[in-house]
């Protein structure tokens, strides 16, 4: 019997740009968070287990504000992304407080996730159809020799904010709908002409087509990825932490891109007809609240999700 896929939620980010723990900040008058709508969509698509990747100090808040409300609907587990969870022989640079990145966060799940799984950000709204597409892919029999991954792609123009810069994985596809390569752009801004990105911390910007397909960290994986991520994290500490001890991060999209280049994985690109939105900055919240209100009016969601 095929194992039912799990939903893994990245929620260990420090929220520095937002100014607080945005994952538990309500976005409607019923105290729902964006993460509630994501879990609701995942459950109706067929997911029956949710794993939260959080910081240990946030566990009590997460259980009280999110986990306890859904524990009667799905199996809930918590995984902690700790600064101390590093390869043997590696060291934590003095003064480092920033997490090691999304690839490191996913690797922290290896002891509790033994089945195909989806990955999402906790502070992004992806839309109903995206979860159904992910679930359908993860439950289909596969015969490939490579690790069969998938991702849900969005056009860059639908993922920008008026309130600052964003990080996006810019994707290149082949003619068969598979990902060829992915470049992580950590500083993309909206411009009068469309969009632009910087590779020197905002000193200079280069134009970027607004129809560029980007990853919003909505992935589908098989558990074999963990072995590859162990190698990724070892290389990251050997090379990148040494070069940039305070700010370096091991990004999941870049490591997936590396696996594609090494012919170890294939990534089917799925599309969603729904519009993405998220709360990167506090100033984004009013737009998100209005969007959720409209979706409720249209009948996409009930007024109260967890009855």
Residues 200-220, mean pLDDT to the nearest whole number: 92
pLDDT for 274 equals 78
pLDDT for 20 equals 52
CB atoms within 10 A of CB 177: 12
Listed in sequence order, the residues at least 6 apart from 298 whose beta carbon sits closer than 8 Å to its beta carbon are none
Q: Which domains does the chain have, with CATH numbers?
A: 6-297 (3.90.550.10)
**pLDDT range class, residue 17, cuts 50, 70, 90:** very low
pTM of the model: 0.90
pLDDT of 128 higher than 80: yes
Mean pLDDT (the chain, rounded): 90
Q: Of 134 and 277, which is predicted with more confidence?
A: 134
Query: By C-alpha distance, which of 101, 103, 94, 115 is closest to 51?
Result: 115
pLDDT for 280 equals 80
- pLDDT tens digits along 172-190: 999 999 999 888 898 999 9
pLDDT for 169 equals 85
- pLDDT tens digits along 241-279: 989 999 999 989 889 999 999 999 999 999 777 788 888
Give strand pairing partners of 152.
270
pLDDT > 90 fraction of the chain, expressed in percent and rounded = 70
Query: By C-alpha distance, which of 118, 117, 106, 123 is closest to 35?
Result: 123
| Cβ–Cβ < 8 Å for 55, 80 | yes
| Cβ–Cβ < 8 Å for 257, 182 | yes
- pLDDT tens digits along 59-108: 888 898 889 999 999 999 999 999 999 999 899 999 998 889 999 999 99
Sign of the C-alpha dihedral, residues 257, 263, 265, 271?
Answer: positive
């Amino acid at each position: 019997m095929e194992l039912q896929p799990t939903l893994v939620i990245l929620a260990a980010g420090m929220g520095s740009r937002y100014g607080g723990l945005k994952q538990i900040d309500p976005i409607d008058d019923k105290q729902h968070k964006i993460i509630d709508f994501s879990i609701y969509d995942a459950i109706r698509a067929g997911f029956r287990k949710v794993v939260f990747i959080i910081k240990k100090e946030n566990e009590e808040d997460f259980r009280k504000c999110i986990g306890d409300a859904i524990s009667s609907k799905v199996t809930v587990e918590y995984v902690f992304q700790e600064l101390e969870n590093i390869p043997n022989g590696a060291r934590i640079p003095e003064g480092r407080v920033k997490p090691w990145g999304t690839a490191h966060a996913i690797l922290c799940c290896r002891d509790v996730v033994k089945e195909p799984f989806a990955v999402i950000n906790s502070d992004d709204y992806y839309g109903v159809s995206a979860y159904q597409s992910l679930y359908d892919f993860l439950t289909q029999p596969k015969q490939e020799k490579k690790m069969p991954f998938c991702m849900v792609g969005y056009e860059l123009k639908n993922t920008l904010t008026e309130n600052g810069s964003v990080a996006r994985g810019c994707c290149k596809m082949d003619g068969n709908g598979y990902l060829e390569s992915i470049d992580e752009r950590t500083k993309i801004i909206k411009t009068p002409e469309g969009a632009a990105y910087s590779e020197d911390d905002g000193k200079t910007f280069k134009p970027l087509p607004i129809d560029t397909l980007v990853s919003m960290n909505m992935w589908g994986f098989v558990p074999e990825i963990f072995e590859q991520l162990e190698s990724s994290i070892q290389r990251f500490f050997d090379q990148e932490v040494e070069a940039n001890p305070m700010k370096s991060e091991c990004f999941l999209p870049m490591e997936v891109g590396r696996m594609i280049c090494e012919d170890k994985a294939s990534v089917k690109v799925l599309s969603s007809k729904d519009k993405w939105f998220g709360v990167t900055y506090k100033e984004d919240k009013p737009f998100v609240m209005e969007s959720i209100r409209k979706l409720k009016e249209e009948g996409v969601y009930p007024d109260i999700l967890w009855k």
